[in-house]
Amino acid sequence: MAKFNKTEHVAVLVQSASQNRIKIGRVTNLDGKIIKGVRMITPNESTNDPLGRATVSATVFKKAFLSLETMNGKEEISLLPLTALAQEYNNGDVPEFTDKLINFENSYITIGETTGLTAGTVFQMLVAYEDKK
């Protein structure tokens, strides 16, 4: 992902150790913003989020997938492995998006295998954005 001037840290909280689909939820600071990319923060990069909550284990992270819905209700990205969005697994690079207006409230992370998932842990991501023109 190229360097962007504007990024927003987003933590997605695991409510239950048995849930396999976790809604990202509304991210007020990203309302109406053009999303340029998402970089997942791996457990090796950060063991805790800014609020002190533990990051999900590497085992869980490697078996999780991101789905993003656009503001027009279309699932634009479906079940993209989180590892594809992590610099650690991609020689320091992650893909950029083509100017998306994302509805984070209807977007989610799917966990392929919940073994090792712990309630109260978080998935962390940095969302690169630009103001709508």
- List pLDDT tens digits, range 7-38: 999 999 999 999 999 999 999 999 989 999 99
How many other β-carbons are positioned within 10 Å of the β-carbon of residue 98?
9
Cβ contact 117:22 at 8 Å: no
User: Rg for the chain (alpha carbons), in Å?
Assistant: 14
**Does 2 score more than 60 pLDDT?**
no
54 backbone dihedrals φ, ψ, rounded to 5°: -70, 145
Q: Which amino acid is at 63?
A: K
**Does 79 score more than 60 pLDDT?**
yes
The pLDDT assigned to 51 comes to: 96
What mean pLDDT is reported for the chain?
92
Give the residue, 52 or 2, on which the prediction is more confident.
52
Q: pLDDT band at 77, cuts 50/70/90?
A: very high
52: its two tokens: 């002190």
Angle (nearest 5°) at CA 55 between 18 and 65: 60
Q: Which amino acid is at 66?
A: L
The pLDDT assigned to 43 comes to: 95
**Does 115 score more than 70 pLDDT?**
yes
In whole angstroms, give the CA distance from residue 64 to residue 16: 15
pTM for this model (two decimals): 0.91
Q: Give the chain's length.
A: 133
Mean pLDDT of 50-68: 96
Please, is 73 exposed, middle or buried when counting C-beta atoms within 10 Å of its C-beta (0-12, 13-18, 19+)?
A: exposed
